[in-house]
Structure formats: structure tokens, C-alpha cells
Amino acid sequence: MRVVIQRVSHASVTIEGVCKSAIKEGFMILVGIEEADTQEDADWLCKKIIGLRVFDDENGVMNKSILEVDGNILVISQFTLHASTKKGNRPSYIRAAKHDVAIPLYNYFCRELSLGLGKEVGTGEFGADMKVELLNNGPVTICMDTKNKE
């Protein structure tokens, strides 16, 4: 699984002109799932995300977690995170999981994040044409890949 985590002042996702989810301060997370990903990958990511200390403390130092600032999370499925651009100019998405693998794991990831956060996370709609708006705060953007745990 790959994620792009952006610390935001606010974020929202709109589908066919209707706002599906909106959050204030917190994380907007793009998540890409590949065929080999498992619940263990999702569990590792959830633990890391909930524990990330990237919110400012009283001294302006990134030292607080999302729990400590009572932040929110918006999760958007993003198969293009697994784009391969090795050959030519048209990306290949062959590594991205098919719906029968990706949807249950995406739903599991969102449920586990909600449990860790102690409140519901906002979501998009898997496979929909989504319009995502956000105000990146910092900017702070962190990428993680469960196949390359750095």
C-alpha cells in the first residue's frame, strides 16, 4: 500500500457536484492498493499515521500527533499512486489492485483509521470521478509505502 499524507487546514471531496466529505484540520490521505497488499499492510500504515508527530506544539515545533490536536482524516482511493512510467509516456496501472481486492482493503483501512482516531474518517467513493480540494498546511506532505518501510 502506498499513501500520500498531507497535513491540511481543510479538505473536501465532491462527486457529481455534491460534497461527499469535508474535514477541518487534519490529514488528507491518498491511498493506493496493489494486489499483494494485506490487512497487515493497512494495520502498519494506520499505526504510523495515527502516531505521526507533524502538528505544531506550543513552541511551533512539529511534535504533536493527530490525536493530540483532535484532528480529522479524509481518505481518498488513488490507484494512480501505483503508476509505472518506466516505458513510454502513458503510465501503466498494472500493479494497482482490481476492485475485488482493493475495495475490501480500502474499507478495512478506513475502519481501522476510524478506530485509531476515535471518530469517523471522511471518504470519497471508490472508482468515482472525484474533485478533491485541500489547503495543505506547511506544506507538510509525507509518502509511505508498506513495501519500502523507511
Residue 117: phi, psi to the nearest 5?
-80, -25
How would DSSP label each residue in 42-107? Answer: HHHHHHHHHH---EE-TTS-EEE-TTTTT-EEEEEE-GGGG-B-SSSSS-B-TTBPPHHHHHHHHH
For residue 36, the tally of other CB atoms under 10 A from its CB is: 12
Q: Which of 38, 39, 80, 141 is catalytic?
A: 80
Q: At what angle do helices 99-117 and 39-51 cross, to 10 degrees?
A: 30
Q: What does the alpha-carbon distance between residue 47 and residue 24 come to, in Å, rounded to a whole number?
A: 21
Question: What is the residue type of 90?
Answer: R
Q: Which of 78, 109, 123, 146 is catalytic?
A: 78
Asked if 80 is an active-site residue, the reply is: yes
Q: Which of 79, 109, 123, 146 is catalytic?
A: 79
Give the residue numbers marked as catalytic.
78-80
